[in-house]
Chain A
Amino acid sequence: MCLGIPGRIVRIDDAANMLATVDVGGVRRQINIVCIVDETHPVESCVGDWVLIHVGFAMSRIDEAEAAETLRILQELGEAQAEMEAMRLGATSAKASP
């Protein structure tokens, strides 16, 4: 109930009642999209949107750039760790050599 699931809007079924069809991993279902529509993002621009769906309603448009940013931070953390590890190894081998 609270976890939700990401899906992609493939078709607008009823613009007046804000109903659209989403594809969730190959399964299609009609959902309500009123919570992701506003003057800057009208109904017709919703096709192709990745949305998070809770109990039959699209509750959030998933922000591609923010998702990439979260992963980028983790990537950098990994690179920093690898560098630290290399420095530590370098220091040990430097000590070991005469």
Chain B
Amino acid sequence: MSVKFVVGYDGSQASEGAIRFAIAQAKSCNAVLVVAHVLEWSPYSFLTPTEIEERHKRRNEELKRAEQALIGPLIAKIKSEHAEVESVIRYGNIVDTLMSISADCGADQIFIGRTGHSSLSTRVFGSVAGSLAQHADVPVTIVP
């Protein structure tokens, strides 16, 4: 079985850095790269009736936008220099979802940028990279 690396990508500069670093690592040991994009989502948030009605439509639009604007071009770019690459787009809590993606594909390592699109709450409650390092079952490389 080949080695698998999961890289968290959200379009931020730090995640670009994580991608570059992961490609370099993957090349050296011929690993498969799994680019993971997580759309922040909580099933316990509150929606208005109109939002509920349009949710499925919006979800399709969001997935399409993430695929076309973010992940599609990135995968094409990576393929030009490193053939072995896959992508996953999922909804959920970023840390939990990255861990479940890595568990699902049997990843050997997770790469993540140190600061993604951080908000005030991440400053208060801790960053994605920090929580991931604490909770993941596989080694986590935090790229500055």
User: Does A pair with B?
Assistant: no
Using CB atoms and an 8 Å cutoff, list the residues of chain A in contact with chain B: none
Binding site for A on B (CB under 8 A): none
